[in-house]
Structure 1
Amino acid sequence: MATYVIAIPGTFTEGLSGSSHSALRRELAPRHTELSRSEGLDLLTVNDDNTFAVRLEVEAPDRYEAKLKATDLVATALREAGIPEDQAPLGPAAVTGMDGED
């Protein structure tokens, strides 16, 4: 098992209200560990053009499973924050860091 840092891009097609932004950050907060804080990892970056990136840590046996798990976590966080799937399509997940065995 290894810890992976996964980046998932996306676009808010309808923009993102302040309350939705706060709700999404709350949903992602459990993924912000001491390691990610010490590394300066920002869980959610939203750009002026409504594109965004979520960066989070997941534990998984390999890169493929890490990407799947991270994508599922982000999709769930968006849904729980009240952001419909069609208003925040996700791009492909990418491994940006790893700690442990692969």
Structure 2
Amino acid sequence: MVKDVQKKHPELYLNENYVNNWGYSLAGQNQLHDALEIFKLNVSLYPKGWNTYDSLAETYERIGNRKLAIENYKRSLALNAQNTNAIEFLKKVGESTEK
């Protein structure tokens, strides 16, 4: 749906940082499920952006879905092996940081 709107209205450009900040703004207001949807949108728009997966993982952890948090931290780490946030979280929960 978003991609259809972007084709029809190319002036409506949602860059990765803008969408990420939008998600964190919602999370900061404790609207975690709305934030989760925004972070999912960002992953769909920018599937090669390591930070999109990192933010999604953080939100999954905050809502109590550790399995999906781990999965998304691993995706983030695969895209950026230097992502210390993902490394620290995975070590904390006893998950491997190896590919």
Q: TM-score, normalised by structure 1?
A: 0.28
Q: TM-score, normalised by structure 2?
A: 0.29
